[in-house]
Amino acid sequence: MPLDTSAYNLALLRVDGRRWNELRRVHAQIRTQAAADGSSYLEMGHTKVMCVVTGPSEPGPRRGGAGAGGGGGSGGKDAEVAVSIVIAGFSSVDRKRHGKGDKRTLELQSTVSNALSASLHTHLFPHSQINISLHVLSQDGSLLAALINAATLACVDAGIPMTDYVAACTAGSTSTYAANDEAADPLLDLNHQEEQELPGLTVATLGNSDRVAVLVCESRVQVGRLEGMLAVGVDGCKQMREILDRVVREKGQRMIQEGTVERGVGLNDMDVD
């Protein structure tokens, strides 16, 4: 059941057979829903997330207090990024009902919203709203990372101008929280089992830079472990950006080949063969 750390020390292989710096298989698609302005489907290992973006559009009737109040609304100068996350009851092993007012879900929503609105050029769309709805179909660790990646892809599909990809992944450490063992290895992309047993964090960076948009750590860990975990996480985000970029480019190529879109001026640098 627990991650057998002794086995890890012998073979340097994790429970699912990965090495410390390996991502799980990432499968992503964009433009999965024809009706939506932008949509995506993303799998990181067994974590499966679907995302639909509508907008930028005129804001609908004001939803109850979520954006208003103490936090300070944008006052209509920038587009508001409204995120709603639905976690399916069948997504995890123990069937759980996730109510609408679940604080953890609300926190995830506000994190995804804040992370993306810093990268999206919201100032181009005053008095409007970008709706991102995320559906969690299956959970196996790195949920926040998957949500951010899926939302980024869907925003790209929706054609909303943005600075760069916001790519996210998780990193962990093989040390337990109390032990300050220097020998502890950092781990990349934690699955559910590792997330339960080991300290870990979620990092999201902007494009290829070292600039961190989201950093969430929810477990106890020695301060000395942070640097290693963060370095591995940032590196993983760069890998993730490449994967996301490839998905977008492949879809673009296919669409040109199929004749769905005209080959534009800006696409000249893409080799479409």
CA atoms within a 13 Å half-sphere pointing along the CA-CB vector of 35: 0
Q: Which of residues 227-256 bind another protein (CB under 8 A)?
A: 227, 230-231, 234
Question: Site for another protein (CB under 8 A): which residue of 61, 65, 99, 266?
Answer: 65
Residues in contact with another protein, shown as a per-residue x/- string from 161 to 200 under the rule CB under 8 A: ----------------xx----------------------
Give the C-alpha separation, 155 to 158, whole Å: 5
Is 196 strand, coil or helix? helix
86: β partners: 135
- Nearer to another protein by Cβ, of 71 and 159: the residue is 71
Question: Site for another protein (CB under 8 A): which residue of 106, 255, 256, 267?
Answer: 106
Q: Which stretch binds another protein (CB under 8 A): 54-62, 85-93, 105-113, 243-251?
A: 105-113
* β-pairing verdict for 129-138 and 26-30: unpaired
Q: Measure the N-to-C terminal CA separation of the chain; round to a whole number of Å.
A: 49
- What minimum distance in Å lies between the beta carbon of 223 and another protein? 4
Give the C-alpha separation, 227 to 232, whole Å: 9
Instruction: Please report the beta strands in 45-165, taking only residues with DSSP state E, as ranges in sequence order.
Output: 47-57, 80-87, 129-138
Question: Site for another protein (CB under 8 A): which residue of 96, 123, 211, 246?
Answer: 211
Residue 95 in the binding site for another protein (CB under 8 A): no
* β-pairing verdict for 80-87 and 129-138: parallel
Residue 217 in the binding site for another protein (CB under 8 A): yes
Binding region for another protein (CB under 8 A): 64-73, 75, 103-104, 106-107, 110-119, 177-178, 201, 205-206, 209-218, 220-224, 226-227, 230-231, 234
